[in-house]
Structures are given as structure tokens and as C-alpha cells.
Structure 1
């Protein structure tokens, strides 16, 4: 079946999502990383749509979803609430979850919390439940340097060159065609006709609030990880800064039942090649 683009208003926030497959099939919710969009899962969704109903939302302030005036919509807590509402509105009593980076962190929180009785399979792509480690904090500082001030260029070609420069050594390998599609899926025109990234620069405020929340007395991420009832898979970019190898190994020590996929990349594997997609497909069965 062809991809369809749909919109759903959840608690006053309009969310865009792409849907693949038959709505009568078991649902999979795929959630992207901090500055990314749901279309990042296109290659994976194509391979899963014969067996599943695959939904890939743009989180608030990304892609075609609403840019709320109140930036609290960009905090992890609020995004988690909106994702619960998304599943409620669509009537999902049981679902599988695939999350890259931020989307994986949200999946951990929800599989161990508000959606604990509904998420049956959780794929965590290159992120840990550990709220703070030195490598992660350093990487977040680097990310913060460009998130709040995305470049504005004259052409899509220039934006693609920018994406290749900042992501080329981190993401798993992509073809020239994939880089162009990646760029088109995550570009927007500015008011004066320039080209820039398809997100609200104010999402950095949500990231900063999330870092502050890591230092409060909230639930311990490791305790949540250990308590999850869902089947677990961890995808690890072996050179990842966000999920350094010692933290990845601790995830497995605490949950030795978790299946794994190791990818020759930094942060984050793109789930775009057969050697990444096939283990995920088998795990979801």
C-alpha cells in the first residue's frame, strides 16, 4: 500500500504522521530523533507495511506538525503525553514501538510507564535510559550549538551539503539518492525564500528543560529500563557518542534478555539497509 499523510489533533496540538499498510494490521509507532521527522523511517516502513500498520509521527515543532506557541510542548514530559493521546485517539490497545534517539528515550519512558500495558515490543535505536553520562552530556552540548541556529541557505543542494557535513560521519551509510531524499524530507522555505531545516529552533528550549529534569528527583531511568515488560531490542552505533559502548553494555547487563543489532556508525543508525532492517523485522514477529 502507498504511504498516506494524515493529521490528528491531540490535546490541542496538530500532529502530522505518515501511515503505511493496512489499519487492520498490528500497529507500529515509529518516533524520530530530536531535530528529525517521521519520514526518517520510510525505508523501514516499506519493509514492514505488508505485515503491520506503521505510523510515523512528526513530533511538535518538526516536519508538518504544529509549532505550538507554548514551548513546553517540546519537553519530553509533554511529548510523552501527546504520544499517549495519539495512541488513544487511534484506539491502539496493543502496539509495537520503534524509537531513534529521542524517540527511543520516549519509548523507554512510556514502555515503563503510561503505555506499559500496551507496548509489546520496544526497539531502542542508539539511546540509553541513563539520564546523564559524560559522553552524552558532551554530545548534547555539541548538538545544542547548531539546533538553536539552523543555517539558512539559497538552495536545496547547499542544505544537502550541510547535512552531509554534520551527519556524514555519524549516521550509517546512505546512497546519494538517500541523501537527497533525506534533505527534501527535512527542509522548509523561510519567509524570504531561503531553505532551512524543518523544525522550530525553539525545540532547544525543550532539550534544555529535559537536561534540567535529569537532575531532579524524578524516576530513575535504569529502574524503568529494568522494569519494562515488553520484548526489548537495542540498536547500537558502535561509535555513538549518545550511547557509548560502556553504557550500551550496562543496558545489556541489566536486561540480558534484550536482543541487539550493532551497526558500524556513530549516532545514529538510519535503519535503512537490509542488515539493519531484517533483524528488526524478525524481532517484531
Structure 2
């Protein structure tokens, strides 16, 4: 049971496809924030995090949105409280998209007339493009947080310097300091905000603090970065993502950190004139990616998904 009206409940959905490392049926975890006001037409916002993050990244946004909307903040496979995968090469967007389709279908079964919106940060936005573009998903509105079909190579190399290292720390504060050091693109945060963002990322075992995710999720990521020389494959992959983007019919909001090293202004400009013609909002003093903790970032999302 929730500790208070603004605490989420941890739930799971059984998902098909890639096998879990522990055997049996595989489950994906999500945090369920109930709407504080009942509505004739339920409004559900599905929030999906970035590559090495987890669903509690959305606590501040979910707290604000839950005044009128149910918020489901997902732990993508291999992260948070979701099962790890037996085959590391399955840690890729097609697996994640299939998992999220299962969640959308569950929501539809629970609330057939619900209006569903999507907020995706970085990897969560790529997953969103793959899901929202599918016929029958009927996602009303899409928020892409600092991600697009074209991704800057330098950003991938930066992420590759720490992804999958599996460090451990002697204290929660040491772990928080480390996470802050590799997340400077998030922009300015108070010590309390860094701690709130970091605590769900950590697991205490035998007096040490460890990161929440399966280190093996770095395997396909490293295979991607090591294949840089295969320009044909890279162009084909980017073209495929653009095709998903161009197929999106839902109104789309694109958030961008003004100093982002992953989403260029050029890509954002292209996204504004093709496909769903995304409305772009930039946040100064922020790189990759806005955490949706600051009041102006929350307000941008809230105004968009609450619009009729």
C-alpha cells in the first residue's frame, strides 16, 4: 500500500519475448501514481526513462501530474525492479517497445476509454517513437525529452565511458557524488535533489552501494559504438528511426537542453518541419537531459499533456 496519497505503488506486468535471466515468466516493473481527482475519461501518462536510469526519475513530474492524471513510470528491462535478461543482446529498443506495448494493452483492458499520453526521456523517447508509430496504440500526445532520430556520436562515446562499469561505493553519499559527476548535463540541482534522483539508483549489499541495473546492458551498446565504421548500417538505422518519427500522428512536444550533446539544434529543427512537426522547448543551462524536476520543465510537460 502507498505510504501516503502521493506515494506510488510498485506493480508488474508480464511481458512476452526475451527470456529472463532467472527463468520463468519475465516481468516489467512500473510505479503507479493514482490520479487524485476522478474523471469521467481517465487520463494516463506513461513515463519511460533514459538508458541507465529507472522509473523513479519521474517522481517530481508524477507528483505534479497526479493531481489530475494517473502516472505509470516504468523500469525498463534490466533496470530498477524489472527482471534482467538472459541474453544481453536483447537489451535493445525492439525488446523494450514490445514490453511497453504489453503495458499499453493492459491499461486499455483496465480502462477501455482511457486517454494515454507518453513522456520519454532519451532512450524512453526512442522507445516511444517505436510504440506511438504503431497502428492501434492510440497514444494521444507524445513528449520526447532531448532525443530525436539523429543522435550525436560524441554523446554515445561519453555514455560509453561509464555504462556497465558496475562500480560500488562505501556510502550512499559517495554513490550520489559519483552519479552527479557523470550527470552534469542534467543541469543545476540542489544536494537534496541529487540525493532524491540517486537513491532509487542504488542497492545496498554487504555494506557497499551498487547501481541498480544489469551491467550487461552495456553489451549491445558497446557493439553499436564499436561498429562506427559501418556507415551503411548506421545510416540505415537512423533512417529507420526517422521513418518511425514520420509515421507519428500524435501532437508531439520536443524538450531540449540548450547545451545538449545528444540532440543537436539541427535535428530539432528538422523534427519541427516533418512528421508530427514537434513543438520544441529549450531549457538554458541544461545539457542531456532535462530531469523534469525544475518547475519550468514540469510546467512545459503539464501544460502539454493537460491540453484538450
Q: Distance in 1 between matches of 2:81 and 2:220?
A: 18
Residue 283 (structure 2) pairs with residue 263 (structure 1): yes
Q: Distance in 1 between matches of 2:296 and 2:208?
A: 37
Alignment correspondent of 2:293: 272
Please tell me whether the aligned partners of residues 13 and 102 of structure 2 are also in contact (alpha carbons under 8 angstroms): no
For residue 81 of structure 1, the aligned residue among 95, 98, 108 is 98
Alignment correspondent of 1:8: 13
Give the root-mean-square deviation of aligned CA atoms: 2.2
Please tell me whether the aligned partners of residues 260 and 287 of structure 2 are also in contact (alpha carbons under 8 angstroms): yes
Alignment of structure 1 residues 35-74 onto 2, 5 Å: 35-74=52-91
Please tell me whether the aligned partners of residues 13 and 60 of structure 1 are also in contact (alpha carbons under 8 angstroms): no
Query: Any gaps of 5 or more consecutive residues in structure 1?
Result: none
Q: What TM-score results when the alignment is normalised by the length of structure 2?
A: 0.83
Residue 221 (structure 2) pairs with residue 207 (structure 1): yes
Once the 2 structures are TM-superposed, how far is the Cα of residue 262 of structure 1 from its aligned partner?
0.8
Q: Distance in 1 between matches of 2:91 and 2:203?
A: 19
Q: Distance in 1 between matches of 2:249 and 2:203?
A: 40
Query: Any gaps of 5 or more consecutive residues in structure 2?
Result: 17-24, 228-232
Partner secondary structure for residue 46 of structure 1: helix
Q: Distance in 1 between matches of 2:297 and 2:270?
A: 22
Q: Deviations over 1:109-138 (max 9, x none)?
A: 2111255x41110000000112xx5xx222
Once the 2 structures are TM-superposed, how far is the Cα of residue 209 of structure 1 from its aligned partner?
5.7
Q: In structure 2, do the counterparts of structure 1 residues 205 and 215 end up closer, same or farther at CA, with 3 Å as the change threshold?
A: farther
Once the 2 structures are TM-superposed, how far is the Cα of residue 224 of structure 1 from its aligned partner?
2.4
Partner secondary structure for residue 272 of structure 2: helix
- Higher Cα radius of gyration: 2
Residue 189 (structure 2) pairs with residue 174 (structure 1): yes
* Count of aligned positions: 278
